[in-house]
Amino acid sequence: MQLISQEKQIDRSSWHSIVNPIWQGSATDMRKGLAFSLMSPNWQMFLLGDGAPTRHLQLLTQAEIVVEVIAMTSIGDDDDNAPPAINAIPTPRTRRQIWLRSAKTGETFSHATSWWHTPKVEQHLSNPSLPIWASLNQKHTELYRDLQGISQGYSPGLVETFGQPEPYWGRHYLLWHGGQPLTMIYEIYSPSIDKYLGPSSL
């Protein structure tokens, strides 16, 4: 697996996040559930549940979901302007960025950024083009999805690829394995999922 070399100055703006959020929720909010006027029941089952999003998209669309790896970047001990939960991932770290697309229609459903302890990347992602859940399932790895936060807002860098107007929903969480945090993942979703789940709010 080839990593992009760490530069003297990490470009902290080189991964997509929700900026100028309209609304933000905590881990407690995610556990309790949100008002349906804010997020519909179907979207809550998708974003507030503990299942693998790639698997859910596959079931919803009845199509293979393709992982397109954008970059694997060594960031050393930089916090990368990531949510505070990144501190649960030991340094040095590697940042992985992907698109999730439909193999049938070419639609882009999601952008995801994840941070890994660099010495463990090859151990857990021997094939970077596989979804994380598929890579780990091959090894029968048990996982716990520890939801940390959710937000709705703007991410201008995604408008062209999503082909859908803002705002977008994003969330971040830790994946735990064997009592240890394995990776932190930050996901942003396209409103194109509305055609499968219905409107994101009622």
Range 27-52 average pLDDT: 94
Per-residue model confidence (pLDDT) at position 50: 83
Smallest CA-to-CA distance from 96 within 69, 117, 119 is with: 69
Q: Is the pTM of this model over 0.75?
A: yes
**Strands 65-76, 180-189: parallel, antiparallel or unpaired by DSSP?**
unpaired
Smallest CA-to-CA distance from 52 within 129, 145, 123 is with: 145
pLDDT tens digits along 62-119: 999 999 999 999 999 999 999 999 999 999 999 999 999 999 999 999 999 999 999 9
- Domains, in order of start, for the chain: 19-79+90-197 (3.40.1410.10)
